[in-house]
A and B are shown apart, each in its own frame.
Chain A
Amino acid sequence: MGSTATHCPYCALQCGISLQAQPASEHEPLALSGRDFETNGGALCRKGYSAARLLAHPERLQSPLLRQPDGSFAPIGWEQALDLVARQVRDTRTAHGADAVAVFGAGGLTNEKAYQLGKFARLALGTSRIDYNGRFCMSSAAAGANRAFGLDRGLPFPLADLDRAAMILMLGSNVADTMPPFVRHLEGARASGGLVVVDPRRSATAKLCDGSGWHLQPTPATDLQLLLGLCHVLLAESLVDADYLARRTTGLAQLRSSVAAWWPERTEAVTGVPASQIRRTARELAAAAQAARSGADPVYILTGRGVEQHENGTDTVTAAINLALLLGLPGTRAGGYGTITGQGNGQGGREHGQKCDQLPGYRKITDPEHRAHVARVWGVDPEVIPGPGVPATELLHTLGTDDGARMLLVHGSNPALSSPDASQVIAGLRRLDFLVVADFFLSETAAEAHLVLPVLQWAEEEGTMTNLEGRVLRRRAALQPPPQARDELWIFAELARRLDAPGTFSSDPREVFEELRRASAGGLADYSGIDWEDLDAGAAVYWPCPRGTRITGTRSGTPRLFLNRFAHPDGKARLTAVHATAQIHRPGRLSLVTGRLLEHYQSGTQTRRVEELAAAAPEARLEIHPATALAYGIAEGQRVQLDNERGRVIARAALSTDIRLDTVFLPFHFPGGNNANVLTETLVDPSSAMPEFKHTTVSLHPLEER
């Protein structure tokens, strides 16, 4: 048997993986190894290495499950399941209108499934209410990049461009835990002593700065102020690239006055980052950028969820982009700005129409021309396509209320665990008339469902994914799925037929990809020139890739965006003045930040079922500074109760001097009384509707029993 070249099921790095058709262990029907691909160079992390152990996992869902009157689940056949869904959709629609049926998608779905899910919602269900968990990941970065550049592609350059960097400023990203092979791309900057990490924790990534750069440790939720302070120094000390700003940007005058108030000492008083470190960082960035413009190694500014998942996330991203623009980096060979996309298809998943306000190819659902184009491809009247829906947090928090949906279909996501103020979301799921969840394990969300549909895993399906650099990849099947598991494309087609949907719904991934190409043609994320067979041959194709683009043996499509012009009509990037509002601090409370562990991925539905990973990180541990712990009378390993207005979490303390004195950390992979998102805020960013995941305040109480 030959081997199958595919990609890891987890994060947006999409590490190359080879699958050999030979059982590796009882529940591991394939032998998995790292494959030499540009993002990972053959390396994998623990999550990737153990991914095949989920394929034949004993908890794998084997048939559709219907909730019984006694609360238990009973297996049923697919005909019965699909008929039931169709009947529930019709009944709900008749009783409450089409928007009473909602859809929640995911950034882990293949491009084809994401595309088809958007089409299915608009045409088969006729609902405007579709959004996805990417709203919780990439929406602020997307809004910021769209505002500045007129286009959002996570990294507007190949990841490998980072390898040569002289300096990298990385804000709110802990790649050493979340996507370890990424660290290989930081080696160049580390060797030049130019890795600068901004994080309230001395994270595994921040530790990479030891002797190789420096770590800035602001108090949580002051990233925007820190960036304003950095911009201030560049402007006040005339360290900006004036020629670039004049040629390639607009908005400098307003930006200048907006940062005048953020001199380093004032910034220090708000952020806790010493003024001297702010000056040093700005000056070293400027010196490196100037050298890069003269041909030396490039300089990059990267953001992650740590600075983006805030109620001012879009403005924070804008401030990071402003910094990059002042340095003259974006759209040049001297470096650039990028956001590190998180979910496996977090990039492709945000391009093809599962966002409440978008149609495929990054088209706007409110633009008549965009609607007309997509309607032509779908073979329907544009009038049939509903208008914009509501973003994820609103969609989830209104479930079962007068303003919300009565029925929900969930694909590839676990919002019962991953949503802000998760208790409210669970309450919403329980208010629903009918909840359908498609998953391959009984996730915490599936456990709330009326009907669970077993679907395929990564190694059982064909399709395409778009990684964090906008490169389109082939996901390949190496294994027959369990007999009763079904491809979601087939489910959509079957339901569409039962619902007499207009248009056609293919269940063949390649046919759906061909349709996606046509639907995206002429859009910002144009896939029309990307050929399935070229992808099969391993071509490195980056969107936009309009029809007729020559696909070569090297990088094709648009590996580097903006080299000639930005995507705004005038070709220029926008500097946008953003403003920070005063922090309200609550005495007696500590700041809580949330994040991920190396061992687990997102809501842990998969990784918590891998024995090796669960053993290494079995529960949420509360990271707390020993001095803070001492003040609260908390010992190592002691159970601690965290409370705020929204709920309560109990976790064991892990003492560490890596965290600030005023801050505690919880990972968000764990369910029930361990779920960090029971405490997180429902405030959302006014531009992106990103929830405030990364900062809330809590009170701590040590519990007596150990």
Chain B
Amino acid sequence: MKHTERIVIIGFGPVAASLIEGLLPGVSAGTIELSVISAEPELAYNRVLLAEVAVGAAAAEHLNMVDGQRLREAGVKLHLGVTATGVDRSRRRVHLAGAAPLAYDRLVFATGARPVIPSLNGLNFDPHAESALPAGVLALRTLQDAHDLQQILSRRGRVLVLGGGILGIEAALAMAQAGHQPVLVHHGPAPLGRVVDADGGRLLIGSLQAAGVEVVSGVKATGIHTAQGFTGLATDTHGIIAGDGLLISTGVRARTELAASCGLETNRGIRTNKYLAADTEHRVFALGDCAEVDGHPPVGLLAPGWAQASWLAGFLLNHRAPRPDGPSRPIPADLPAPVFDTSDVLMLKGQGLEVTAAGDTSGGLFDQDKQVVVYADPANGRYLRLVTRDAVPKGFVAMGLPRTAAELVLAYERGTALPKDASTLLRLDDPADQSPAVAPGPGDQLCRCSGATYGEVEHAVESGCTTVTEVGESCRAGTGCGGCKATIEQMLNKLPVPA
């Protein structure tokens, strides 16, 4: 007889969406009854594009990561706009605000992370609750936030972005590209201070300003001023920085309270073993931005969460839940755990400003234990700082070098060796023609299709051919793909032949 297992997922972000996708075969086959609880009213969406939505460069519907109708038709029970208020692990129930509790056989926490709200006068900074922010102050984490930002921008408001991390920069760039006047406010000498060195930072500031982003560095913020909404940021260093909106982009913190309140261990996230299990019984799991897996704090990127989701779906499908009163079954020792993508590559999203950084770029040019390469061309907006050990990249910052950066990302992620001479990479971004400027000799092939050489064409011309067709009849040059006709014409006109 077929036994149906009840699985409840708390949270409906991109990682939960991927887990649901992986569990669908079990749902369709009737072996899994899947319920999903989401505090937000929307289906899972892609937060990466929220800034584009706020500035009108992308429509909200395009963020959608799942087809809700398809999930419902498959039998997934979606509880949208419903908050989970508690978990009773002994009775195996999830309590919901304003709805009957949901019973589970296995439970998955995919509660994600919430923005860190800095301790500023005028802001509620309780780290363990959803913040009630004053009007005009927001963190770009939800579609509602994007909508709020859109409102401020539609009044042609000046928006301050607090925080020099990648998300803050991207939001500022998106606003600038849409014709707004964002102000990037951050402490430290330059944005991306954790990965970009001093010279790179200077160049980055210049590039941001050229892209229309005002940058205010070295700021120590102390509070906010409001008058029926945000009016300015109070600082110790720059007085009051006036603005019509404040976008807080100072990092995120795992949502662990619900897990902590039902007795699960939490630290930088809900603590799990390498199999994503948060309890000893292997009945409760956590993954994505809310989980500290096997001692690794969450990195805030999607790829690791997706890898975990894919693995967990396979595990849940193939390993049934422990029986209610039976002993917990150990996970087989030979079961491969999910492979963690620990990538820390940062890529700045936005046109005209191409910044990619990864790993540890510290170190001096003359350090013995690593090789440091620096290329700087600030006038052209180009900069590379590359740190390698045994030719393998350990960290880099690249600006204005799109192809170099793309190759470095691949080599960094795969751990493959780079060419001994780093300028090989830089040449990928050389706008000039790459073909060597050596004058062809008579024995060199002119026409690839026929194999005719410069000498043969020269002979044809000297023997009296006056048109490309005649040259073709004489030695077949130019009678294939036709790509060398221009060269033949030049030879007929006795022009010097370019390499």
- Binding partners A and B: yes
- How far is B130's CA from A486's CA once the two chains are assembled, in angstroms? 84
Residues 258-297 of chain A, each 1 if its beta carbon lies under 8 Å from chain B, else 0: 0011011110110111111101000000000000000000
A182 pairs with B481, CB closer than 8 A: yes
Residues from 294 to 317 in B contacting A, C-beta threshold 8 Å: 302-303, 306-307
Residue in A236, A268, A631 whose beta carbon sits within 8 Å of that of B420 in the complex: A631
B67 pairs with A204, CB closer than 8 A: no
A237 pairs with B58, CB closer than 8 A: yes
B347 pairs with A275, CB closer than 8 A: yes
State whether A235 and B303 are in contact (beta carbons under 8 Å apart), knowing that A46-B480, A631-B391, A662-B416 are contacts in the complex: no
B61 proximity list for chain A (CB < 8 A): 256
Q: How far is the CB of B127 from chain A (nearest CB, A)?
A: 29
A181 pairs with B481, CB closer than 8 A: yes
Residue of B nearest to A179 (CB): B481
Interface assignment of B359: CB less than 8 Å from any CB of chain A: no
Q: How far is the CB of B433 from chain A (nearest CB, A)?
A: 7
Interface assignment of A646: CB less than 8 Å from any CB of chain B: no
A276 pairs with B481, CB closer than 8 A: no
A662 pairs with B419, CB closer than 8 A: no
Interface assignment of B410: CB less than 8 Å from any CB of chain A: yes
B417 pairs with A238, CB closer than 8 A: no
Residue of A nearest to B422 (CB): A627
- How far is B410's CA from A176's CA once the two chains are assembled, in angstroms? 29
B345 proximity list for chain A (CB < 8 A): 269
Residue of B nearest to A240 (CB): B62
A237 proximity list for chain B (CB < 8 A): 57-58
Interface assignment of A34: CB less than 8 Å from any CB of chain B: yes
Residue in A43, A254, A272, A616 whose beta carbon sits within 8 Å of that of B409 in the complex: A272
Residue in A46, A261, A626 whose beta carbon sits within 8 Å of that of B306 in the complex: A261
A275 proximity list for chain B (CB < 8 A): 347, 349, 354, 402
Interface assignment of A192: CB less than 8 Å from any CB of chain B: no
Residue in B65, B419, B448 whose beta carbon sits within 8 Å of that of A631 in the complex: B419
- How far is B59's CA from A585's CA once the two chains are assembled, in angstroms? 36
Q: How far is the CB of B52 from chain A (nearest CB, A)?
A: 7
Residues from 359 to 415 in B contacting A, C-beta threshold 8 Å: 391, 402-403, 405-407, 409-411, 413-415
A183 pairs with B481, CB closer than 8 A: yes
A236 proximity list for chain B (CB < 8 A): 49, 52, 58, 62
B481 pairs with A587, CB closer than 8 A: no
Number of contacting residues on B, CB 8 A?
A: 62
A181 pairs with B409, CB closer than 8 A: no
B303 proximity list for chain A (CB < 8 A): 266
Residues from 37 to 85 in A contacting B, C-beta threshold 8 Å: 42-46, 49
B419 pairs with A261, CB closer than 8 A: no
Interface assignment of B131: CB less than 8 Å from any CB of chain A: no
- How far is B428's CA from A662's CA once the two chains are assembled, in angstroms? 14
Residues 573-605 of chain A, each 1 if its beta carbon lies under 8 Å from chain B, else 0: 000000000100101000000000011000000
Number of contacting residues on A, CB 8 A?
A: 60
A256 pairs with B64, CB closer than 8 A: yes
A626 proximity list for chain B (CB < 8 A): 424
B402 pairs with A46, CB closer than 8 A: no
Residues from 627 to 661 in A contacting B, C-beta threshold 8 Å: 627-628, 630-631, 657, 661
Residue of A nearest to B452 (CB): A46
Interface assignment of B351: CB less than 8 Å from any CB of chain A: yes
B59 proximity list for chain A (CB < 8 A): 238
- How far is B416's CA from A194's CA once the two chains are assembled, in angstroms? 34
Q: How far is the CB of A41 from chain B (nearest CB, A)?
A: 8
B17 proximity list for chain A (CB < 8 A): 257
- How far is B433's CA from A585's CA once the two chains are assembled, in angstroms? 32
State whether A49 and B476 are in contact (beta carbons under 8 Å apart), knowing that A261-B65, A263-B49, A630-B419 are contacts in the complex: yes
State whether A263 and B349 are in contact (beta carbons under 8 Å apart), knowing that A180-B449, A183-B483, A253-B69 are contacts in the complex: yes
B409 pairs with A269, CB closer than 8 A: yes
- How far is B391's CA from A587's CA once the two chains are assembled, in angstroms? 13
Residues 98-123 of chain A, each 1 if its beta carbon lies under 8 Å from chain B, else 0: 00000000000000000000000000
B405 pairs with A274, CB closer than 8 A: yes
B479 pairs with A44, CB closer than 8 A: yes
Residue of A nearest to B66 (CB): A257
B64 proximity list for chain A (CB < 8 A): 256-257, 260
Interface assignment of A612: CB less than 8 Å from any CB of chain B: yes
Residue in B14, B62, B402, B451 whose beta carbon sits within 8 Å of that of A276 in the complex: B402
Residues from 205 to 221 in B contacting A, C-beta threshold 8 Å: none
Interface majority SS on A: helix, strand, loop or mixed? helix
Q: How far is the CB of A150 from chain B (nearest CB, A)?
A: 22
- How far is B100's CA from A483's CA once the two chains are assembled, in angstroms? 90
Give the most central of A176, A263, A275, A616: most B CB within 10 Å.
A275
Q: Give the number of residue pairs across the A-B interface with Cβ within 8 Å.
A: 155
A587 pairs with B415, CB closer than 8 A: yes
Residue of A nearest to B345 (CB): A269
A630 proximity list for chain B (CB < 8 A): 419-421
Residues 440-464 of chain B, each 1 if its beta carbon lies under 8 Å from chain A, else 0: 0000000011110000000000000
Residue in A180, A219, A625, A657 whose beta carbon sits within 8 Å of that of B480 in the complex: A180
Interface assignment of B46: CB less than 8 Å from any CB of chain A: yes
A264 proximity list for chain B (CB < 8 A): 349
- How far is B349's CA from A274's CA once the two chains are assembled, in angstroms? 11
B419 pairs with A661, CB closer than 8 A: yes
B483 pairs with A176, CB closer than 8 A: yes
Q: How far is the CB of A702 from chain B (nearest CB, A)?
A: 16
Residue in B66, B69, B349, B481 whose beta carbon sits within 8 Å of that of A43 in the complex: B481
Q: How far is the CB of B162 from chain A (nearest CB, A)?
A: 23
Interface assignment of B103: CB less than 8 Å from any CB of chain A: no
Interface assignment of B63: CB less than 8 Å from any CB of chain A: yes
Residues from 182 to 220 in A contacting B, C-beta threshold 8 Å: 182-184, 187, 202, 204, 208, 210, 219
Residues 16-41 of chain A, each 1 if its beta carbon lies under 8 Å from chain B, else 0: 00000000000000000010000000
- How far is B349's CA from A269's CA once the two chains are assembled, in angstroms? 12
State whether A256 and B302 are in contact (beta carbons under 8 Å apart), knowing that A46-B451, A219-B410 are contacts in the complex: no
- How far is B417's CA from A63's CA once the two chains are assembled, in angstroms? 56
B482 pairs with A261, CB closer than 8 A: no
Residues 18-47 of chain B, each 1 if its beta carbon lies under 8 Å from chain A, else 0: 000000000000000000000000000110
- How far is B66's CA from A616's CA once the two chains are assembled, in angstroms? 55
A585 pairs with B416, CB closer than 8 A: yes
A253 pairs with B67, CB closer than 8 A: yes
A204 pairs with B420, CB closer than 8 A: no
- How far is B402's CA from A556's CA once the two chains are assembled, in angstroms? 49
Q: How far is the CB of B491 from chain A (nearest CB, A)?
A: 19
Residue of A nearest to B306 (CB): A261
B45 proximity list for chain A (CB < 8 A): 260
Residues from 244 to 258 in A contacting B, C-beta threshold 8 Å: 253-254, 256-257
B319 proximity list for chain A (CB < 8 A): none
Interface assignment of B434: CB less than 8 Å from any CB of chain A: yes
- How far is B306's CA from A266's CA once the two chains are assembled, in angstroms? 13
Q: How far is the CB of B30 from chain A (nearest CB, A)?
A: 22
A265 proximity list for chain B (CB < 8 A): 347, 349
A274 pairs with B307, CB closer than 8 A: no
Q: How far is the CB of B63 from chain A (nearest CB, A)?
A: 7
A276 pairs with B419, CB closer than 8 A: no
A612 proximity list for chain B (CB < 8 A): 451
B482 pairs with A43, CB closer than 8 A: yes
Residue of B nearest to A657 (CB): B434
Q: Kindly list the 7 A-B residue pairs having the minimum CB-CB distance in the complex, ordered from nearest.
A: A627-B419, A183-B481, A274-B402, A180-B481, A265-B347, A180-B480, A180-B449
14 A-B pairs within 8 Å (CB atoms) are namely A44-B480, A46-B450, A181-B480, A181-B481, A183-B482, A187-B482, A260-B46, A268-B409, A269-B347, A582-B307, A585-B414, A627-B420, A661-B419, A662-B411
* Chain A residues close to B by CB (< 8 Å): 34, 42-46, 49, 176-177, 180-184, 187, 202, 204, 208, 210, 219, 235-238, 253-254, 256-257, 260-261, 263-266, 268-269, 271-277, 279, 582, 585, 587, 598-599, 612, 616, 625-628, 630-631, 657, 661-662
Q: A181-B449, A238-B62, A261-B65 are in contact. List 13 more A-B contacts (CB 8 A).
A: A43-B479, A43-B482, A49-B450, A180-B448, A210-B433, A256-B62, A257-B64, A257-B65, A260-B64, A272-B409, A630-B419, A661-B407, A662-B410
